[in-house]
Structure 1
Amino acid sequence: MLIAMAGLPGTGKSTVAGELGRKLAAPVVSVDPIEAAMWRAGVARSQPTGLAAYVVAEAVADGVLALGQTAIVDAVNAVEEARAQWRSLASRRGVPMVFIEVVCSDPAVHRRRLEGRSREIRGFPEPTWDAVERRREEFASWTHGRLVLDSVIDLSRNVATALAFLAAAP
């Protein structure tokens, strides 16, 4: 199965992805550390490293799926082109595709989490609240089904909901 996380920075999608990865013994392929590694390797930030990170994540997830394992992709997936990329990969590999969008319904909590977090991704600056607000405006409407989790709900309950959803997936 291919599981693609989605949601704005700071909503908790990486936390949910990590817990799902532990519960399912599935690798989590995260776009942000890939992009940071490109910068550390000397690829200029003026280059389309965000797009390149998605392409690298796709290649890594493809390798995991080729081994017959579940892969979890951790990325914002704000635009339909990114979402189509994951659906295409799942189709090519003949595996079920599930999107899990993580939102935070309380803007004050979301902002506090974003401004207080430190993921320690070397060379990767945390986004500002203003950057997240701009991203929110660019977030494309969904054209396909997904599970939506609200991170104001307890993590263990959200993970249990996600696991039940995944168990029911085709």
Structure 2
Amino acid sequence: MLIVMAALPGAGKSAVAGALGRVLPAAVVEVDPVEAAMWRAGVSHDQPTGPAACLAAEAVAEGVPALGRPVVIDAVEAARGQLRALAARHGGPRVLHRGDVLGREGPPPTAGEPGPGHRGVRGAAWQSVARRRATYEPWTDQRLVLDSIADLGSNATKAQEYLTTVR
């Protein structure tokens, strides 16, 4: 099973992906550390490292289900088409869409802070996340929407329950 976590920066995708990985158990492949590794390797920040990192994470994740293990991919919502195609190649959409934090007043608790273990990742400034709101298109296909303000344990449990119903 391949599970895609996708949402705007600062929504807490990495936290839920990690919790879900522990509960299932599943491998977790995060795009942000892959992109940060590209920067540390000398690839300029003005290059399209986001899409390249997503492709690299996709390549890593593709082999995990063949080993009989689920895998969770953690990526920003901009890669949704690419990630939907990947999920479809692995038995249909298993997309967990982290709730859109932009409907709330002010930044979410994680806005501007890179996730744990994201060495070299620049946190998303709340202002840049808010600017994305103008072009953000909500997902309309089958998915689970988690409330970004709910506690991590509740979100991980809700995600696990959802996955048992869509298998």
Return the TM-score normalized by structure 1: 0.86
Compute the displacement of 1:156 (Å): 1.5
Change in Cα spacing, 1:21 to 1:137, as seen in structure 2 (3 Å) is: same
d(CA) in 1 for partners of 2:122, 2:82: 26
Cα shift at 1:68 = 2.4
Q: Which residue of 2 aligns with 1:123?
A: 120
Q: Percent identity?
A: 48
- Secondary structure of 1:142 counterpart: coil
Aligned residue identity for 1:87: R
* Unaligned segments of structure 1, at least 5 residues: none
Which aligned runs of 4 or more in structure 1 are off by greater than 6 angstroms? none
Aligned to 1:32: 32
The whole-number CA distance in structure 1 between the counterparts of 2:123 and 2:145 is 24
Q: What CA deviation, in whole Å up to 9, does each residue of 1:110-137 have, x standing for no partner?
A: 1x43246664522221111111111222
Superposition CA RMSD, Å? 2.0
The answer as to whether partners of 2:93 and 2:142 remain within 8 angstroms in 1 is no
Equivalent residue for 1:163? 160
Compare the two structures and name the one with the higher helix fraction.
1
> CA shift at 1:157, angstroms?
1.5
Number of equivalent positions:
165
Quote the residue 1:138 is aligned against.
Answer: 135
Task: Using structure 2 for the length normalisation, give the TM-score.
Answer: 0.88
One-letter amino acid of the counterpart of residue 152, structure 1: I
- Report the Cα distance in structure 1 between the residues aligned to 2:141 and 2:72, rounded to whole angstroms: 18
